[in-house]
Amino acid sequence: MARTIETAGVVGLGTMGSGIAEVLARSGIRVIGVEVDAAAVERARGHVEQSTARALTGGKLDEDDRAALLARITYTTSLTDLADADLVIEAVPESLGLKAEVFAQLDKIVGPDVVLASNTSSLSVTEVGVHTSRPGKVVGMHFFNPAPVLKLVEIVRTVVTEPDVIADVTGFAERLGKTPVVIGDRAGFIANALLFGYLNHAVRMFEQRYATREDLDAAMRLGCGYPMGPLALLDLIGLDTAYEILESMYRQSRNRLHAPAPLLKQMITAGLLGRKSGRGFYTYE
C-alpha cells in the first residue's frame, strides 16, 4: 500500500529548500522546515513570504490561499522535531560529509518506513544513503530553481532503492503538480549533466572577452528561445552552487567540459555569488 504523506520535513531552507517547502505547503502538506539557527530560519521565512507575494502579484495565488500556505509551514532548528514526519527532503549545501551526517541523524529520528530524499544536484545518492540503516528507502528528489515555478522533479533511483519507494515518491511529485522523471544515480542526473557544460562554456567565453555578458545572454535568449541567458541563469542558481555542481561532476566524470572556469572561483572568493549576494555577473537591487 502506498505511503500516506501528510507531514513532510525539509532540512536546509536555502534557495532550494525554502522553494521546496513552499511547493509542499501549497499542495496542502504540513511542512516542518529545519535550519541551523534563528537567523537562517528568518531568512527562510522571508524567502517564502517574498516568493508567495510574487505569486500573488502574478495572479497564481489569492490572499486566503497564501495565508493558508504560510500557516502550514513551521520552522525549527532541531532535527528531532521531525520524529513524526512521513517523508523528509534534505536540501543542505552540496557537501557529502554534511549530507551524510544529516542522513545518519535522520535515520535515528524518523520511523523505520519513512523515505529519506535528497535534493542533491550532483552528489551520489548512493553514497548519502549508505550512512543510514535504510539505503533502500533513500532516493533523490531533485527540484529546479525556482522550485515553485519549474515543473520538473528528477527522481533518482540507486541500485538498492526499493521499487515501492520510487512509486510513492513519483506519485508524491505528481501530487505536488510536478512532472517526475526517473533516472539512475549518475553525475548531474539528466538536466544538470546537459546544462552545466553549457553554462561553464559561457563563463569561459566571457572570461576570454569573446562577447559582453549582455550579448552572450541575448544570443541564447533571442536566438535559441531560452528564458534566460547563461550568465543570468548562473546568477539565479548561485555561483557557489554552480561551482560545487561543476566540481562534483568533474570529479565523477573527468570530462573537461565540467572543469569549473577559473573566473567562477575568483568571483566566489570576491563574494560575488549572484542574486543572493546582490551581485554576480550582474548587479541586483
Q: State yes or no: residue 184 binds ligand CAA (CB under 6 A).
A: no
Return the ∠ at Cα 255 (arms to 237 and 139), rounded to 5°.
55
| 95 close to 69: Cβ distance less than 8 angstroms | no
Which residue type does 126 have?
T
121 has catalytic annotation = yes
The conformation of residue 255, written as its DSSP 8-state character, comes to -
**Residue with the CB atom nearest ligand CAA in the bound state:** 58
Based on CB atoms, which residue is closest to ligand CAA, 107 or 244? 244
Based on CB atoms, which residue is closest to ligand CAA, 167 or 177? 177
Site for ligand CAA in 237-276 (CB under 6 A): 237, 241
Nearest approach in angstroms of CB 60 to ligand CAA is 4
Based on CB atoms, which residue is closest to ligand CAA, 52 or 170? 52
Selected from 3, 27, 41, 54, the binder of ligand CAA by CB under 6 A is: 54
Kind and range of the H or E run holding 212: none
250 is written with which cell numbers?
568533474
Strands 30-34 and 7-11: parallel
Residues 6 or more apart whose CB falls under 8 angstroms from that of 170 comprise: 155, 180, 182
Selected from 70, 109, 149, 211, the binder of ligand CAA by CB under 6 A is: 149
154 has catalytic annotation = yes
Backbone angles phi, psi at 9, to 5 degrees: -95, 145
Q: State yes or no: residue 228 binds ligand CAA (CB under 6 A).
A: yes
Selected from 3, 43, 60, 275, the binder of ligand CAA by CB under 6 A is: 60
Q: Which residues of 12-48 are buried (b: 16+ CB within 10 A; e: fewer)?
A: bbbbbbbbbbbbbbbbebbbbbbbeeeebbeebbebb
User: Per the residue annotation, which of 122, 192, 200, 248 is the catalytic one?
Assistant: 192
Contact pattern from residue 127 through residue 146 relative to ligand CAA, giving x for each residue in contact according to CB under 6 A and a dash for the rest: -----------------xxx
User: Per the residue annotation, which of 154, 200, 244, 248 is the catalytic one?
Assistant: 154
Selected from 121, 124, 126, 200, the binder of ligand CAA by CB under 6 A is: 121
Q: State yes or no: residue 197 binds ligand CAA (CB under 6 A).
A: no
Count residues contacting ligand CAA (CB under 6 A)? 20
Cα of first residue to Cα of last residue in the chain, in angstroms, is: 50
Q: Is residue 146 reached through a cis peptide bond, with omega within 30 degrees of 0 on the bond before it? A: yes
201 has catalytic annotation = no
Nearest approach in angstroms of CB 84 to ligand CAA is 27
Question: Residue 12 and residue 194: Cα distance in Å, rounded?
Answer: 26
Question: Residue 25 and residue 101: Cα distance in Å, rounded?
Answer: 26
Q: How many residues are present in the chain? A: 285
47 has catalytic annotation = no
As annotated, the active-site residues are 121, 142, 154, 192
Site residues (vs ligand CAA, CB under 6 A): 51-52, 54-55, 58, 60, 121, 144-146, 148-150, 192, 195, 227-228, 233, 237, 241
